Structure 1
Amino acid sequence: MGDSHAVDIDSLARQLREELAAADAPAPRFASGCPIVIAEVGEPTRNVDNHGDYDPHHVSIGPYHRIRNPHLARDDEKIRCLGAVMSASTAAATLEEYLGEVARLEGRAASCYAHAFEQHMDSAAFVRMLLLDACYVLIRFGRVVEAAARRGNGGGGGAPGAGGHEQGGLRRGADAPSVRADMMEAVAVVRDVLYLAENQIPFFVVDAIHRLAVPDAGVSAADAIVEYVRELLRGQQYSVATPAAAEPGNLLHLLHVHFAPTALSPPTNVGKVTGGKRPVGRWRTATEYHCAGVGFRARPLGGKGGARSILDVELDGRGGALEIPRLNVDAETWRLLRNLMALEQSNPAAAGSRVTAYCVLVSQLACTARDVELLSRRGVISHGLGGHGEVAERLAGLCRGVAFGADDPAGNYLHATWQALEGRFRSRPRRWAAWLMLRYFSNPWLAVGLAAAALGLVCTVVQAVYSALSYTPGGT
């Protein structure tokens, strides 16, 4: 039609055929030896707040933030950690052997990352990063130097050397990397290396370096690091669980396995309370449940019959009180819970959704300052932040951008508890009784006055009855 623009149909068809062939090719599958996928947090979730709960601020581990924030690589410190691991080694392995071991795992390790990074990092750089990051993890949390010093001292448990000090939860000796850090740095290392879903390397790389360095240690890298993890979680009163030994997918996954609710049987009267199964909506607020006669009690952590972790939420047998382990809220609580949820979002089959189910509960139960105040009085929430409103605001936004199927009992371990509480909330006799208790019997003096008035009314009625009987035939 006289158009000066010509389209090369053959070339365009050839290009589209190539794209169709690529689209029809089977999608690459993650390696069978990769139990946990390391994925970047999606923008809809990352952008719901400006707190940076998914980003490291001190050190990067793995490729994602090494590429995004190269100033966080800290390779000078990691190279000193490599030297410390080699010095503590009992096998006298050479640097070439360490590199060869990591190179053997390169393909398997790369398949554990859900998002591509190869265009920014070649194989040599990737192997170098894995070796340095694994050594950094072992020095910070694996007690490699301390264990070597004990063996060198004939198994003695003393300090590894003069000038030893604690850093990142480990005692470090004079032959360890000469990085002098204060408590703030130790907290930053824990936060960045243990808590962040994106800032991880596959744990089998760490374990391979550990086995190469100390083949006679008698414990795996997971056994060495889990001691620190359990001490950390117990100190924060998040978990006292001791799950069965198994190699984790990464360090955050090692924390995640400690957040597991005890298998609890539902209360025997759940069927009576629920009034039938209904679709799970949002949880009511703590204030709403309180007005419906539901009490709140702090469930002890540990001990006989106690909770194993903060996820052990239980409705008592009568359905009258919700027992929740105390949640100690600090500046890092949101970061840990959000990244545990991010781990579950990327690994629904391997990790489940139990932390997500718990976070949905607390985010809806305590979404106003009045709710946080009520739960604080009951010992369910403990915090030292500016005020109840600040805690409520952060809790209310905890699950924004998170996908969760509340109606699936297999994925929502609190499904039966919600049904029971919803049935109690909808029960009018229970709500009326609760309203009477809150309105007239919460004040002891008012309760005494009402009791006296009721007694006086009863006496008046009795007197009237006897007076009436005195005028009936045959009365005295």
Structure 2
Amino acid sequence: MGKKEDHHVIDIPSLAQELRVQLASLKSSTERVGGGAVQPCIVVDRVGELTRNVDPHEYVPQFVSIGPYHRTGNLVRGADKVSYLHAVLSAAAAYSGAPLDLEVYLTEMALLEGRVRSCYAQSVDIPSREFVRMLLLDACYILVRFGDVLGRRPEPPAATAANGLAQAGNRVVPSEEKRKAAVVDQREAVAVVRDVFYLAENQIPFFVVDKIHQLTFLDSKTPALEAIARYAHDLLRWTEYTVATPTVVAPPALRPEPANLLHLLHMHFTPTVLSSVKGSRGVFGGGRPVGRWRTATECYFAGVKFKRRALSTNGGGARSILDVKVSRGGGTLQVPRLNIDAETWRLLRNLMALEQSNPSGAGSHVTAYCVFMSQLACTARDVELLSRRGVIVHGLGNHGEVADLFANLCKGAVFDFDDAYQNYLRPACQTLERRFRSRPRRWMAWLKQKYFINPWLAAGLAAAAIGLVCTVIQAVYSVLSYSQPGN
């Protein structure tokens, strides 16, 4: 009998070479080009199924696709993107006496292909020719929409359209055709902001947009980031989510470049406590474990007062909705007002998705805030209480609907309440928990809420207390008169 062929022979040199290529790719994806320091890489990843199952529409574009994950059907918007490419080339011709050819743009995109592919956590099965074309068209689309390429600032989508007006005598009235056109443009502007800025899966790396801007304006000292960051700042300020001006608009030497447009929005949501504490474990760590967080109703019955904290650029004000503040004894909880509209849940969920995919590079402070609010406002009574205090403003049908949305906000998110580095609100939660566990404070809060709110009940309670004291004094004197009749 002949010797059987060995089917378990392993080509060790070939396997080693394959792993070396993967290691080299991993190293290049974690290094910032132009500098020697290794930075946490922000990748574009697909949202996990446990999170997506709550509401899949919150993560999928409905008007335009950016990047490789959702290039299907009408979402590609090929004709629109080609027209925006024409606008970029026209701007380059107007700005420079010797504008670059289209071939130069494509060549530069081809040189960036490997670096761009490493920014996607999922494999991208698109041929190089289509991939380079996608990068060029998507970057031009973003630049024209938000990068001030045509020499004018785009208005935030929620602003009232100024066009679509016609003169009628001394009155200004909207013409029917222009009014309809303005409505269509407004809806399109809202849809573009929603798909391009808010969605974690619908992104391309920002350095691609910046490269197109550099090629278009060769001698310009103003980077693409400045115009787009101003637009993002105005958008978030109008929605009253944040008034912060992050370091992205600082001098270029101090400016960290965002990984993509959603990451640019995320950079506005840094709590002031993170910048002041510097992430010290000695400050954040220690103390009683947080355990189960308390609802707004439970905190209220423990004597906690809720106050709306105004957004302000001053040193002592809140800079974003994440700047929750609690008094030293836990008697007052100041929460910035959260204006809930049709896009609030989409923005918060996608910011959390960005953090879930990039825990080292993006942190977890938006997730911590969302978990805190989902515990604080998880019932209709909680939402009603916070609405009366001005902490929550919504236009939905009822408080129960808002409570259900809060309760499902963090489904599928991985988060450790007691991790000092993940939960920046851990000290505030510990203070509230100590307040809740203090029985004397809870009894005093119960007395105030049951008797002192109604002035008649308060007067009756005071009269009863005075009568009780007088009765005790009378009883004491009666006993003394019997035991010491001479006195």
Q: Normalising by the residue count of structure 2, what TM-score does the alignment of the two structures yield?
A: 0.82
Is the 8 Å Cα contact of residues 243 and 313 (structure 2) preserved in structure 1?
Answer: no
Q: 1:62 aligns with which of 64, 67, 72?
A: 67
Following TM superposition, by how much is the alpha carbon of 1:134 offset from its aligned partner in structure 2, in angstroms?
Answer: 0.4
5+ residue gaps, structure 2? 34-40, 164-180, 249-255
Matched, 1:39 2:45: yes
3-state SS of paired residue (2:393): strand
Distance 1:289 1:199 in 2: 39
Following TM superposition, by how much is the alpha carbon of 1:429 offset from its aligned partner in structure 2, in angstroms?
Answer: 1.8
Distance 1:259 1:207 in 2: 23
User: CA distance change for structure 1 residues 115 and 461 in 2, over 3 Å: closer, same or farther?
Assistant: same
User: CA distance change for structure 1 residues 169 and 98 in 2, over 3 Å: closer, same or farther?
Assistant: farther
Give the 5 Å matches for 1:302-451: 302-304=312-314, 305-451=316-462
Matched, 1:238 2:241: yes
Give 1:318's aligned amino acid. Answer: G
Q: 2:115 aligns with which of 101, 108, 112?
A: 108
Matched, 1:255 2:265: yes
Distance 1:230 1:108 in 2: 28
Is the 8 Å Cα contact of residues 31 and 108 (structure 1) preserved in structure 2?
Answer: no
Q: After the TM superposition, which of the residue ranges 98-107 and 19-28 deviates more from structure 2? A: 19-28
User: 1:73 maps to which residue?
Assistant: 76
Following TM superposition, by how much is the alpha carbon of 1:348 offset from its aligned partner in structure 2, in angstroms?
Answer: 0.9
Give 1:36's aligned amino acid. Answer: I
User: 1:225 maps to which residue?
Assistant: 228
Per-residue CA deviation, residues 270-301 of structure 1 (Å, 9 max, x unaligned), is x9xxxx82333231111111111122111111
Distance 2:215 2:346 in 1: 34
Following TM superposition, by how much is the alpha carbon of 1:464 offset from its aligned partner in structure 2, in angstroms?
Answer: 5.1
User: CA distance change for structure 1 residues 190 and 113 in 2, over 3 Å: closer, same or farther?
Assistant: same
Per-residue CA deviation, residues 19-60 of structure 1 (Å, 9 max, x unaligned), is 97699665541252384111111212211x235111000000
Is the 8 Å Cα contact of residues 146 and 172 (structure 1) preserved in structure 2?
Answer: no
Is the 8 Å Cα contact of residues 273 and 424 (structure 2) preserved in structure 1?
Answer: no
Give 1:54's aligned amino acid. Answer: Y
Q: 1:194 aligns with which of 193, 197, 202?
A: 197
Give 1:194's aligned amino acid. Answer: F
Give 1:314's aligned amino acid. Answer: K
Distance 2:235 2:354 in 1: 19
Distance 2:333 2:325 in 1: 6
Distance 2:247 2:298 in 1: 39
Distance 2:329 2:155 in 1: 49
Give 1:50's aligned amino acid. Answer: D
Following TM superposition, by how much is the alpha carbon of 1:474 offset from its aligned partner in structure 2, in angstroms?
Answer: 5.0
What percent of counterpart residues are identical?
Answer: 60
User: 2:86 maps to which residue?
Assistant: 83
Q: 2:151 aligns with which of 143, 146, 156?
A: 146
User: CA distance change for structure 1 residues 97 and 377 in 2, over 3 Å: closer, same or farther?
Assistant: same
Following TM superposition, by how much is the alpha carbon of 1:467 offset from its aligned partner in structure 2, in angstroms?
Answer: 6.2
User: 1:184 maps to which residue?
Assistant: 187
Give 2:240's aligned amino acid. Answer: Q
User: CA distance change for structure 1 residues 142 and 372 in 2, over 3 Å: closer, same or farther?
Assistant: same
Q: 1:297 aligns with which of 294, 298, 307?
A: 307
Is the 8 Å Cα contact of residues 424 and 430 (structure 1) preserved in structure 2?
Answer: yes
Per-residue CA deviation, residues 306-334 of structure 1 (Å, 9 max, x unaligned), is 10000001111232111111111111111
User: 2:206 maps to which residue?
Assistant: 203
Is the 8 Å Cα contact of residues 61 and 193 (structure 1) preserved in structure 2?
Answer: yes
Distance 2:304 2:158 in 1: 41
Distance 2:377 2:261 in 1: 30
Paired residue total: 434
Distance 1:44 1:10 in 2: 44
User: CA distance change for structure 1 residues 42 and 428 in 2, over 3 Å: closer, same or farther?
Assistant: same
Distance 2:407 2:70 in 1: 28
User: CA distance change for structure 1 residues 285 and 23 in 2, over 3 Å: closer, same or farther?
Assistant: farther
3-state SS of paired residue (1:297): strand
User: CA distance change for structure 1 residues 166 and 224 in 2, over 3 Å: closer, same or farther?
Assistant: closer
Is the 8 Å Cα contact of residues 328 and 431 (structure 2) preserved in structure 1?
Answer: no
User: 2:105 maps to which residue?
Assistant: 98
Following TM superposition, by how much is the alpha carbon of 1:417 offset from its aligned partner in structure 2, in angstroms?
Answer: 1.3
Give 1:240's aligned amino acid. Answer: V
3-state SS of paired residue (1:52): helix
Give 2:268's aligned amino acid. Answer: H
Per-residue CA deviation, residues 146-188 of structure 1 (Å, 9 max, x unaligned), is 25xxxxxxxxxxx9xxxxx858589999xxxxx9842111111
Give 1:253's aligned amino acid. Answer: H
5+ residue gaps, structure 1? 1-7, 148-158, 160-164, 174-178
3-state SS of paired residue (2:151): helix
Is the 8 Å Cα contact of residues 196 and 339 (structure 1) preserved in structure 2?
Answer: yes
User: CA distance change for structure 1 residues 96 and 311 in 2, over 3 Å: closer, same or farther?
Assistant: same
User: CA distance change for structure 1 residues 413 and 183 in 2, over 3 Å: closer, same or farther?
Assistant: same
Distance 1:123 1:52 in 2: 30
